[in-house]
Structure 1
């Protein structure tokens, strides 16, 4: 059996798979890191600075994000490109690998630019298919997914399922399908606060958003956007321009899930370097008919604007984890009202960071009841990260102050 269908079999028993082809993992696991590191990035969206316009929003995603060797190997060397930071892209990562090897995670977060967007592949838990998780495993899987997305501030997911040419078959008592169970997948996305799940699935229409399954699913399939031939950039340019020309705006296009490689690499047909990707983007922008209306974006911006275009909430919902719940409201005086629900009252620490990771506010909160309220004031306006920490408590939420 090919590896991809076998992962479905593993998921049906409640597991996830982490391909590595690596040595020295124990060294990466214990390498010293900053225990108080705030996993924020310049690509985070500030709603005050982002508006939906009549444009074509185009996204490129680096492939292999679920593979540990790609995560630790500088994304096929592309992360070290001198062109990185000049073009908006989506980098796929395995968030469970970040959890196990925080030294690797902190390297990427410290060196990321505003054009380096992050997505979880193919789930935050690694390579897995949550649509086939056993029912008894779902509470734990959801709690761990929420915790990983909250900790690493990654709320968009890339998933794919298409490797069973027979459509559906049985392997040792487990059904291996060529397609997702969309209701199960959508419900998992909705209940884990995933803001978008990008799919490659032959059973759905391409370049289309779906909200009827729960959550937000966006599919691309069989339209030369998945490991497409990038050997001739003129052909790729014409292909992308033709997908956009004459279409109503705003419009969203997932233009390429491609394997990124290091500069000057010998490329296979579906490989691309960042310098070549920049050349392609510049060429499209120079197109006299549509170029001025094209904007290449990070997955954070793609997700935010797609949700806004559909009338969906553009903020991450209340944070819940293992029965703990944090709600944040902004009152008419631009003060933040916190509602913290724990099993029992305790002393917790409130910390507020800006998007660069700078500590803005720190104060203790001695709760008087398990479901308690507190008002805090943040002098600055903008988007911030709120963290509540205590005994067996670590809840994080993105907040907007002073709309």
Structure 2
């Protein structure tokens, strides 16, 4: 199909200053609306993605991404890696460490708090302990002395210092006594306080791996499970393909933070949907402007048909013209959106000298999808006016000319 004539006429109509000023205004409003919609959509989704990634790094880096346990029994401390399935084809697991962990209640004379205690052997077992070397950790958490490293926020909440006693009550473990079933508990001595910018320091504590295992009635030569560190915490959905449910059970970060990230993802989707309405409203103006042009250009359409222009070519004139309006708006909006997103914190600094920081994450795929979505809506909006233009009959249109 030869579209050269249709494209030439569409460009002439698009660049010409129509005598119908109202129709021209509607066309300009359509382009401006698409520009604003695409620009706002790119900025908002980039900010939401940046916040999601920032929270993923700040929150999820401080808690176990996944803990794999056997359905029956425990892992051997010396040979636990050999008991796992082959992980060579899953390169996103960059570290595996043994772990004994359980939920606990921290009780002191000043108060009570809930949290999670993790048994460790090496500073590399948890990112929050990377400020220590192996010798320091051995001195702070010697085997059998029931020492505890707690977070600064928890220490402030319980009003305790290094050397104070904390009673740990394991809510998931219990023992029978003459007074009934009571949680396993033990006095621990605070040997150090760690500082972390995340909220993990308000509930997460560390003890020696063997000491926690002893309270959980696990043999010294065994561990409850293995802790997996993933390059992307959101890849935990792939773990059931490796660790079959018949042999292993998996506990991951979703048990603690799943609802939070689900709410962030839902908010991102809702914001994208609401801002997309701007583009939809702007695209509806293309229908109006093209419909007005069809009425205004009936005589010209009839003359072109008498000179040999087919109805298909007439349809393509208005399809291409509407598509040009959408394409120009989408491209300008995308360029402005990317430019503003890259300089967003500098722009915010003009209005807020206090230094508000908004993390952003521009995805090329996301930008292309937004542009493609806008172009698709622009193309669809041209179909009805183009169909009406092709129905113009030369004899009827030129009867009174």
Compute the TM-score of the two structures, normalised by the length of structure 2.
0.19
The structure with more helix, counted as a fraction of residues: 2
Higher relative contact order (CA 8 A, sep 6+): 2
Compute the TM-score of the two structures, normalised by the length of structure 1.
0.19
The structure with the larger Rg is 2
